[in-house]
C-alpha cells in the first residue's frame, strides 16, 4: 500500500508540475503577444527604410504570434510577405520622415514575378526623388536584378556579382525507379505535359526542351532589357558579358559598370549618414520594413470593398492553408465575397502550379457564379499554370507579370506499379478475391490491365476536353485553338498576352484598380483580404506538428530537400492532375 501511494503522489506531482510549466509558458506567450500588439514603432525624421529581401517571400505576411519572442530554441524572426513589402514601399514614397531606402538583397528567395513586382515598386519609389542604395558582399543573379534599380549599387571590394545567363534544370528519377523495380504507369494528354517526364525519361524530351528554351529566352530578354535601362548599359553588351562570363571579380563588376563603386559596409553607412545629415559618430536613423509596415495606414477608405482572395500553392481538396489551395477553403472565400453586398468586385490572386483537376473545377465553378454577380479580375503571381490557369480562365480580365509562368493546359494521371518492388526487394506478395472485374481498380501492387488503362485514358481525355472547353468559354476563343496552344505547354505572361490567354501585363495593384473601375467604385473603396488569417495562438497551433516536421526535415536535407519534396508530392497524388512540371527552377 505504501508503494501504491508513493506512485500515486509521484504521478500527481508530475501532472501538477506539467500544468504549472504549461501555464507559465502560455502566460509568457500571451504577454509577448499583448506587448507586441500594443507597442508602436517610432519613425524619426531623416530615417532610412531598411529593406531586407534575404528570405523566402510569400504572397502574404505569415501570422506568427511568436515573432517577437525569444525563449530557448524559439528565436525572433519577423518577416514580411509581398503584400506588406509593396504596401510599405508605396507608403514610404510619400512619407516625409523617410529619406531613402537601404536595400539588402544578397540572396533573394522569390519567384521572378514576385521579384518583378518589388523591383517595379522600387522604381516607382525613386520617382519621388528619394534615393535607393543597394549594398551586398555577393549578388546572385536574382539579387542583382532587384538591386540594379537602385540609385547607387555598391559591392564589397572582395565580393562577387553573378552574371552568367539563366538556366533551368530538371531532376529525373527513372534510373532510381528502375533500380527499385517500380514502374510508373502514366496516362496523359498533351505533347508538352512534362510533369511526368522525370518518372519516364532520364533527360528532357525534345518537346520539353523546345518549350523551356522559349520560356528562358522570354524571361531573359525581359531581365536584360530592364538592367540595360537601369544601368545605362547597351543590351548587346550585357548579353556578351554573360555569354563570356566577363564578371569574375568585384573589379570586373566595376569595370563593366554593373556597380557604381566597391565599398565596405562602414563606408556605405557613412555615406548614408551624410545623405541624411547624421553625424558620423552617431547611429543612422533606420527602420526595418517589418517594423515600418505596422505604421502604414490603409491607402484606400470607403464604404465599398474590393476583395482580394489569395489562392497560393498546389490545389487539393479540403480546407488548405497558407501554403496550399484547398477547394473548400477558397470556394468558401469566393462565396463569402460574392454574397457580401459591401464587396463590389473580386480580385483572385493566383500563385499556383496547379494540382487536382477535380479541386480546380470546384473552384472554377465558384468563380463562374461570382462573375454573374460582380466583376472578377485575376492577378497572376509567379505561377498560374495548369490547375492555376483552370481556376483563372473564367475571370472578366486576367493580369500577369511578363515573367509569370502560365498555361500548361493539360492533364495526367500516374499510378505506380510496385508489384516487383514488393516481391523482389521486400519479399512481400499479394493475393485476394473480388466481386467484380474492377473491384480492385487503383491498386499499386499490380500493373493496370488493358481495360483499366482504357478507362483511365478516357477519363483523362474527358477532363482535358472539359479544361479546354472552360478556357474557350472564359476567353471567348475556339476550343480547337485552345488545344493548339495547350497540350500541356507552358508560357510566360508576355507570351500568354500574344496568345490571348492573358489580357494585360500588370501588378496586383493594377488588378485592384481595374476591379474598382469595372465596379464603378474607383473613388470610394477599401481592400479586404480573404481567406482571413488565423490570429494569435490559433495560427501557432494550426498544423503545428506538420510545420515542425517540415522544419527539421528541411534542416537535415538542406539543398536536397527539394528532391524529397518532389518525391513526396508523387507519393501523395490523388486522382487526375492538372499540374505543371515538378522541377522548374531558374538559376
Residues pairing with 380 in the sheet: 350
Rounded-to-integer distance, Cα 348 and Cα 364, Å = 11
Distances in whole angstroms, Cα of residue 409 to Cα of each of 347, 357, 492? 22, 11, 13
Cis geometry, peptide bond prior to residue 460 (ω within 30 degrees of 0): no
Contact assessment for residue 106 and residue 138, using Cβ atoms and an 8 Å cutoff: yes
Contact assessment for residue 348 and residue 391, using Cβ atoms and an 8 Å cutoff: yes
All three cell numbers of 84: 506588406
E strand or H helix at 414: strand 411-417
Distance between start and end Cα atoms, the chain: 71
DSSP character at residue 343: E
For 292-331, give the DSSP string.
Answer: HHTTPPPS--SSEEEEEEEEESEEESS-EETTEEEHHHHH
Rounded-to-integer distance, Cα 78 and Cα 67, Å = 5
All three cell numbers of 480: 480547337
Active site residue 18: no
Contact assessment for residue 84 and residue 293, using Cβ atoms and an 8 Å cutoff: yes
Strands in 38-164 per DSSP E:
47-52, 98-104, 131-139, 152-161
Neighbour count for residue 194 (Cβ, 10 Å)? 30
**Closest by CA position to 41, among listed 4, 81, 88, 9:** 88
All three cell numbers of 209: 526542351
| Distance, C-alpha 191 to centroid of its chain | 27
All three cell numbers of 301: 477608405
All three cell numbers of 283: 547611429
**Closest by CA position to 398, among listed 493, 528, 526:** 493
Rounded-to-integer distance, Cα 221 and Cα 549, Å = 40
| Catalytic one of 99, 193, 419, 494 | 193
DSSP character at residue 74: B
| Catalytic one of 88, 360, 386, 408 | 386
Query: Which residues are CB-neighbours of 510 under 8 A, at least 6 positions away?
Result: 379, 399, 504
Neighbour count for residue 272 (Cβ, 10 Å)? 20
Rounded-to-integer distance, Cα 47 and Cα 99, Å = 6
Interhelix angle 235-243/206-231, nearest 10 degrees: 120
Active site residue 386: yes
* Coil, strand or helix at 11: helix
* Coil, strand or helix at 68: coil
Rounded-to-integer distance, Cα 580 and Cα 587, Å = 18
Query: Radius of gyration of the chain from Cα atoms?
Result: 27
Helical residues (DSSP H) of 406-449, grouped into ranges: 419-420
Catalytic residue set: 193, 386
Amino acid at each position: 500500500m505504501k508503494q501504491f501511494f508513493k506512485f500515486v503522489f509521484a504521478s500527481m506531482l508530475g501532472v501538477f508540475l506539467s500544468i504549472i510549466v504549461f501555464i507559465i509558458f502560455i502566460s509568457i506567450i500571451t504577454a509577448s503577444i499583448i506587448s507586441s500588439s500594443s507597442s508602436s514603432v517610432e519613425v524619426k525624421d531623416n530615417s532610412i527604410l531598411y529593406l531586407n529581401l534575404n528570405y523566402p517571400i510569400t504572397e502574404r505576411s505569415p501570422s506568427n504570434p511568436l515573432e517577437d519572442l525569444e525563449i530557448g530554441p524559439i528565436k525572433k524572426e519577423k518577416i514580411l510577405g509581398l503584400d506588406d513589402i509593396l504596401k510599405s514601399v508605396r507608403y514610404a514614397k510619400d512619407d516625409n520622415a523617410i529619406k531613402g531606402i537601404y536595400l539588402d538583397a544578397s540572396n533573394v528567395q522569390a519567384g521572378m514575378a514576385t521579384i518583378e513586382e518589388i523591383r517595379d515598386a522600387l522604381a516607382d519609389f525613386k520617382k519621388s526623388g528619394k534615393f535607393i542604395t543597394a549594398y551586398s558582399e555577393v549578388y546572385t543573379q536574382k539579387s542583382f536584378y532587384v538591386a540594379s534599380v537602385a540609385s547607387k549599387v555598391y559591392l564589397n571590394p572582395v565580393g562577387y556579382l553573378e552574371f552568367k545567363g539563366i538556366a533551368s534544370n530538371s531532376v529525373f528519377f527513372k534510373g532510381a525507379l528502375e533500380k527499385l523495380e517500380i514502374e510508373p504507369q502514366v496516362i496523359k494528354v498533351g505533347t508538352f505535359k512534362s510533369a511526368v517526364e522525370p518518372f519516364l525519361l532520364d533527360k528532357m524530351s525534345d518537346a520539353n526542351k523546345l518549350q523551356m528554351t522559349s520560356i528562358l529566352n522570354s524571361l531573359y530578354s525581359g531581365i536584360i532589357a530592364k538592367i540595360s535601362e537601369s544601368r545605362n548599359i547597351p543590351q548587346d553588351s550585357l548579353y556578351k558579358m554573360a555569354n563570356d562570363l566577363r564578371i569574375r571579380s568585384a573589379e570586373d563588376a566595376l569595370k563593366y559598370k554593373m556597380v557604381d563603386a566597391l565599398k565596405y559596409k562602414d563606408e556605405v553607412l557613412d555615406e548614408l549618414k551624410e545623405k541624411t545629415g547624421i553625424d558620423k559618430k552617431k547611429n543612422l536613423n533606420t527602420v526595418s520594413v517589418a517594423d515600418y509596415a505596422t505604421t502604414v495606414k490603409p491607402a484606400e477608405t470607403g464604404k465599398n470593398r474590393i476583395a482580394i482572395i489569395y489562392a497560393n500553392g498546389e490545389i487539393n481538396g479540403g480546407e488548405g492553408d497558407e501554403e496550399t489551395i484547398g477547394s473548400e477553403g477558397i470556394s468558401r472565400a469566393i462565396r463569402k465575397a460574392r454574397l457580401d453586398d459591401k464587396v463590389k468586385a473580386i480580385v483572385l490572386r493566383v500563385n499556383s502550379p496547379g494540382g487536382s483537376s477535380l479541386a480546380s473545377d470546384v473552384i472554377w465553378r465558384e468563380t463562374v457564379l461570382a462573375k454573374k454577380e460582380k466583376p472578377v479580375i485575376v492577378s497572376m503571381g509567379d505561377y498560374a499554370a495548369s490547375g492555376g490557369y483552370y481556376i483563372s480562365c473564367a475571370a472578366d480580365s486576367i493580369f500577369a507579370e511578363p515573367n509569370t509562368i502560365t498555361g500548361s493546359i493539360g492533364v495526367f494521371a500516374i499510378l505506380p506499379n510496385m508489384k516487383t518492388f514488393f516481391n523482389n526487394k521486400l519479399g512481400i506478395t499479394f493475393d485476394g478475391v473480388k466481386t467484380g472485374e474492377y473491384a480492385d481498380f487503383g491498386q499499386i501492387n499490380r500493373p493496370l490491365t488493358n481495360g483499366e488503362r482504357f478507362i483511365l485514358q478516357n477519363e483523362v481525355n474527358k477532363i482535358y476536353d472539359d479544361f479546354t472547353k472552360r478556357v474557350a468559354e472564359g476567353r471567348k476563343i475556339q476550343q480547337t485553338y485552345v488545344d493548339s496552344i495547350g497540350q500541356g505547354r507552358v508560357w510566360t505572361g508576355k507570351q500568354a498576352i500574344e496568345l490571348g490567354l492573358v489580357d494585360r501585363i500588370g501588378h496586383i495593384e493594377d488588378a485592384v484598380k481595374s476591379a474598382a473601375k469595372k465596379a464603378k467604385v474607383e473613388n470610394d473603396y477599401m481592400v479586404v483580404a480573404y481567406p482571413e488569417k488565423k490570429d494569435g495562438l490559433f495560427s501557432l497551433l494550426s498544423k503545428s506538428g506538420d510545420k515542425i516536421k517540415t522544419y527539421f526535415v528541411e534542416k537535415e536535407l538542406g539543398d536536397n530537400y527539394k528532391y524529397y519534396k518532389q518525391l513526396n508530392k508523387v507519393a501523395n497524388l490523388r486522382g487526375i492532375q492538372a499540374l505543371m512540371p515538378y522541377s522548374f527552377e531558374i538559376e
